[in-house]
Structure 1
């Protein structure tokens, strides 16, 4: 089998109770037939144009030869380094595909100027860039395209020969790129970004980087038949019921690699599930953990643990209340897409829209257009500026007191979200904050690099249950980078994204503490010490 799942405890009870009804309602075959009525009248319009992923394996097969031919041509010209400019599903799927295959792909889903500069200055003579955006209006990818066009021109390289576009047909980006002479790959417009792993968005950058994408599609194809059948053994129905049907709902989903060969899968699944289900005050919050994480040991009654293992074990060997999954990467991608669609039906939400992702984008655009003066800091300590929700900073005179006030505001069933708007390549140690806060609070903690998480868990934070508290870390780069043709820099864009998201969180009644620090090791160490 290319995919196996074992369940126990609450998850097993949910499967036994729910899957027979899903089978009776023909949910699997109706998803495969792209029936938009499965999620209710309010979701029908969106669902009618978002179910093309169910046939992505077949549709994408026709792309493979063209992608390989382009890869071979680029390599013959000395181009052996691929950079991907994309956000959300456009970057997270290629990241897990290439990391698992062990091939190099520079994923640039960032607006931190120092992170962008480091990518620009790395082997430009041997680099090709894939710009991936459904609409082409995504500010991050538009900015990345602009700076790479300039960088290639300054290096004496025609950008037309080094930039490849992946977008929907007839999008503004599609029209402009074709008019300029760029090589364009069109994706199925009836697939949302987070369900696009097996479309051109996942395959073009992965294939150009050197992945055997035909084999990846074969892996997905091997499980497609099982997913289409209305039967109690359907893994998509089982997984959907297990993650969205427990009573009471375990609405934090801890995804734990425990022997799997797949690298970074939880980051992709986090985006798929959080953005699909976190709305209308409902949802499932995925948390990227490892098998030694505090949350795994605590046995919290609102946390469902999913272990990604190398091979299936006997059901009685599965830890009580846990889910164990094994399978190939291609099969995993397709099963989790089906399961997420099933989870949406069980939760009573539309799994294909993302209203609160759009609200953060609107707030960011407003700040970039108006260029208001920054909100004055409540106080400054060790060079770190402190801002936040009034209830959090009102009585605080130190960062430690402000952090304590934020954590003390955790409601029942709550979680902490750490959001780091810094160079993730330069400061990987910041992810230590996640484990330290989990140990301190004995509650689930999620960590996201900004602005990448805005296209992932950002939807859940604002649209899901109002039980999160939010710690923003915002860097001030020592070197900024202008964006050709734009009246703002990457540094200004990054700060607008952080401030815009904070304003939307606060408008939704979420507590926010923002620490703005100089982007240097001393500021990072100060924060780590305070949390410790």
Structure 2
């Protein structure tokens, strides 16, 4: 098999009981045949226009020589530093592809001003910006584009049209403005949703320009297409779909751990695919990205399913009780997981192709940007940390009491989400808080960088089961950055995104606690003490 999956415990039982029914219902051939009614009548209209990813290998193959030719043309002009402005599906797959192939790509999926300033200050002379947005109206991407256009102009570069490459859907406002500006434009298949777009122009253009072997990547995916189309018990898409959503009772916390795989960062890509596809109608699967020694792996939680990404090997390896191991090439894994999550949507009885609750946070953000109200005064300030709550959560008089109040709402089947609206380039150490909190709570803990998680797990937070509690950590940067031709700055935008998301979560009955800091390093010891 191109992708090998080994399951034990409840996952193996799910494969044995669920896959034969999927085979009998012709689900695999139905997905490949673009049959839209596999997910019920309510999902049919959306599914009709969202199954293009099954044909992505064939559709994308002609893009490869065009991307390679552009890379060579840019390199001949000394333009070899690729920066990607994109959110969610537009950035997660290219990040995995380029890391796995060992080529450099700067992924700018942030509105934190210091992170944007870092990207602007890194080898601008040799920079090409890839502006990637399916809708063509993503506020983060539009703002990043304006900042780079101004930087190129201020630097006196006469070749700005050579320095910006656009990836978008045909007919989007971004396509129109890019063509008017003389930029190179790649249009993607509009029948592919953002989180299913790894093998489309959204995944291939920035990765190929950065130097990844995208022809090889498509070849890896092509090698598994026949297996995925067949209604057979060993179809890896059906097997993995059963693992994810077929356990009884449902183990709906999917713990993802890279354990020896050659693929770098794959769990972060799978996180969006799973959470945004399944978290709706009060149901869903929560992906939890962890390390090898994280508490969720060893605590035997009743609702956790551990999935390990392992090295491709012919050696017999004993799978830990109750766990699942999966191996295979990157291109094949992309396609297998896409099939599997579509199958999981059918098993859960939801539409895996829409994202109805993603827009709510965007609406709240836009309202705050239009009104630009004064910041809500903190309930308390301790050691340079401002503490705010939304929805009446008591905070007491210390960081510890505030955290205690939040965790009092954490149920035996719930989870804690840490949301860091912080410069992840300079403060990656904040991710260490995840394990600390998992050890304290004995429950799954997710960690997301804001605002990028709004385009991934944000859908699950509002549309999935109402059993999450939320800790925001926001950063007030010393150096803000204006967004050209906009009435707000990057600092204003990221603050509005955090506040808007907290507001929507509270409206959905989710407890939210916010810690705001200016100096992350100075505040870190106090945060660690409070969370421990």
- Establish whether TM, by shorter chain, passes 0.5: yes
Give the distance between the partners of 1:360 and 1:481, measured in 2 at CA.
23
The match for 1:196 is 197
Per-residue deviation at 1:531?
Answer: 1.7
Q: Any idea what the Cα deviations from partners look like across 1:204-235, whole Å, max 9, x if unmatched?
A: 00000000000000000000110001111100
Per-residue deviation at 1:8?
Answer: 1.1
Q: Is the 8 A contact 2:169 2:190 kept in 1?
A: yes
Partner SS for 1:140: helix
Partner SS for 1:527: helix
Give the distance between the partners of 2:120 and 2:312, measured in 1 at CA.
41
The match for 1:226 is 227
Partner SS for 2:420: strand
The match for 1:323 is 324
The match for 1:177 is 178
Partner SS for 1:161: helix
Give the distance between the partners of 1:298 and 1:492, measured in 2 at CA.
41
Q: Which runs of 5+ in 2 are unaligned?
A: none
Give the distance between the partners of 1:529 and 1:11, measured in 2 at CA.
38
CA RMSD, aligned part only? 1.1
Moved more, 521-530 or 369-378: 521-530
The match for 1:105 is 105
The match for 1:31 is 31
Give the distance between the partners of 1:106 and 1:314, measured in 2 at CA.
37
The match for 1:252 is 253
Per-residue deviation at 1:524?
Answer: 2.9
Q: Is the 8 A contact 1:387 1:393 kept in 2?
A: no
The match for 2:416 is 416
Partner SS for 2:122: coil
Give the distance between the partners of 1:313 and 1:502, measured in 2 at CA.
48
The 5-angstrom pairing of residues 42-61 of structure 1 reads: 42-61=42-61
The 5-angstrom pairing of residues 478-497 of structure 1 reads: 478-497=478-497
The match for 1:498 is 498
Per-residue deviation at 1:391?
Answer: 4.1
Give the distance between the partners of 2:391 and 2:467, measured in 1 at CA.
18
The match for 1:130 is 130
Give the length in aligned residue pairs.
531
The 5-angstrom pairing of residues 104-503 of structure 1 reads: 104-157=104-157, 158-311=159-312, 317-393=318-394, 396-503=396-503
Per-residue deviation at 1:374?
Answer: 1.5
Per-residue deviation at 1:316?
Answer: 7.8
Give the distance between the partners of 1:493 and 1:391, measured in 2 at CA.
25
The match for 2:14 is 14
Partner SS for 1:82: strand
Q: Is the 8 A contact 1:378 1:393 kept in 2?
A: no
Q: Is the 8 A contact 1:411 1:467 kept in 2?
A: yes
Q: Is the 8 A contact 2:111 2:494 kept in 1?
A: yes
Q: Is the 8 A contact 2:390 2:502 kept in 1?
A: no
Give the distance between the partners of 2:160 and 2:340, measured in 1 at CA.
41
User: For residues 316 and 129 of structure 1, do their structure 2 counterparts lie closer, same or farther at Cα, with a shift above 3 Å needed?
Assistant: closer
Partner SS for 1:317: coil
Per-residue deviation at 1:319?
Answer: 1.3
User: For residues 402 and 329 of structure 1, do their structure 2 counterparts lie closer, same or farther at Cα, with a shift above 3 Å needed?
Assistant: same
The match for 1:70 is 70
Give the distance between the partners of 2:347 and 2:315, measured in 1 at CA.
28
Moved more, 357-366 or 153-162: 153-162
Per-residue deviation at 1:155?
Answer: 1.2
Give the distance between the partners of 1:399 and 1:384, measured in 2 at CA.
8
Q: Which runs of 5+ in 1 are unaligned?
A: none
Q: Is the 8 A contact 1:165 1:182 kept in 2?
A: yes
Q: Is the 8 A contact 2:390 2:503 kept in 1?
A: no
The match for 2:515 is 515
TM-score normalised per structure 2: 0.98
Per-residue deviation at 1:312?
Answer: 5.1
Per-residue deviation at 1:381?
Answer: 1.1
User: For residues 148 and 316 of structure 1, do their structure 2 counterparts lie closer, same or farther at Cα, with a shift above 3 Å needed?
Assistant: closer
Per-residue deviation at 1:481?
Answer: 0.2
User: For residues 316 and 103 of structure 1, do their structure 2 counterparts lie closer, same or farther at Cα, with a shift above 3 Å needed?
Assistant: closer
Moved more, 310-319 or 295-304: 310-319
Give the distance between the partners of 2:181 and 2:263, measured in 1 at CA.
38
Partner SS for 2:62: helix
Q: Any idea what the Cα deviations from partners look like across 1:319-378, whole Å, max 9, x if unmatched?
A: 111111010000000000000000000000000111111110111001001111212211
Give the distance between the partners of 2:197 and 2:409, measured in 1 at CA.
37
Moved more, 369-378 or 383-392: 383-392
User: For residues 390 and 362 of structure 1, do their structure 2 counterparts lie closer, same or farther at Cα, with a shift above 3 Å needed?
Assistant: closer
Give the distance between the partners of 1:473 and 1:102, measured in 2 at CA.
31
Give the distance between the partners of 1:310 and 1:452, measured in 2 at CA.
28
Per-residue deviation at 1:313?
Answer: 6.7
